[in-house]
Amino acid sequence: MSQQAEIFAKYYKEYQERVAAMDLSSVADKLGLEKAEGGYLLPLYGRNYIASGKGLVEESGKKPDYMACIILARYLTLCPDEAPFMDEWAAFKDFKKTSHFTNVNYFNSDTERALAANFGGKMDDLKRACNALSGQPDDSGLSYDLVKRFQALPKISVLLLFNDVEGRFPAFGTVLFQKHTEYYLDPESIAVTSAYLVRSLKALAFEPAP
């Protein structure tokens, strides 16, 4: 196992242990969790996971991948004392705590540039993937070729914006977040949440079904 793989495995184990040690009933109402057999139901972009005293698993019993584990564990462990709701959309750079260049660079590379690189000139593929992931139209009035709203987590929606290649103008895509997102997630996990969306769309568009 490489050093990087060992680090990921260590963090993954720590995230699972933190969730397993939680009193999930104390955060269930604030985070919109539903009781499920053996724990609490926690959906991520429509895929259901179970949080319990054993940690996090998919409904099938399979362990979540590393990115999903980060998002779900931090959503649970960073639960705010009060559950705010602000339906206005905010760009990643507008959050007060996202100034660290590592988070901004990661958002730019794995969300914005990844959208343009994977879906520029492939609007039909992007639309099909959005529909498969239950993306919904949004009446925000933003002028883009494609605007889709996704339920990332029970209390957090995100908005995907995409303009396709047009003449000498390159493709551009980004993701907006409900303004209250920064009360539920830290900057790193906010960036991972949008990167996970892009990765999921890419898989639905271009990778063969298992």
pLDDT in tens, 2-31: 777 899 899 999 999 999 999 999 999 999
Strands 146-153 and 55-58: unpaired
**By the 8 A CB rule, do 74 and 80 touch?**
no
- Contact residues for 68 (Cβ-Cβ < 8 A; gap 6+): 44, 47, 49, 56, 196
- The alpha carbon dihedral of 151, 104, 147, 68 has a sign of negative
Residues 32 and 107 in one domain: no
Q: Tell me what the pLDDT averaged over the chain comes to.
A: 94
Residues 43 and 107 in one domain: no
Residues 16 and 55 in one domain: yes
DSSP letter assigned to residue 112: I
pLDDT the model gives residue 1: 59
Whole-prediction pTM: 0.94
Residues 93 and 73 in one domain: no
Residues 131 and 170 in one domain: yes
Residue 99 sits in a domain whose CATH number is 3.30.310
Query: Per the domain annotation, does 83 fall within a domain?
Result: no
* Model pLDDT for residues 101-122, shown as the tens digit of each residue: 678 899 999 999 999 999 999 9
The number of angstroms, rounded, from the C-alpha of 168 to the middle of its chain's C-alpha atoms is 31
Query: Per the domain annotation, does 82 fall within a domain?
Result: no
Residues 63 and 122 in one domain: no
Mean pLDDT calculated for residue range 55-79: 97
Residues 59 and 98 in one domain: no
If one counts the domains in the chain, the total is 2
**What domain range includes position 127?**
89-206
Residues 34 and 111 in one domain: no
**By the 8 A CB rule, do 135 and 149 touch?**
yes
Residues 197 and 141 in one domain: yes
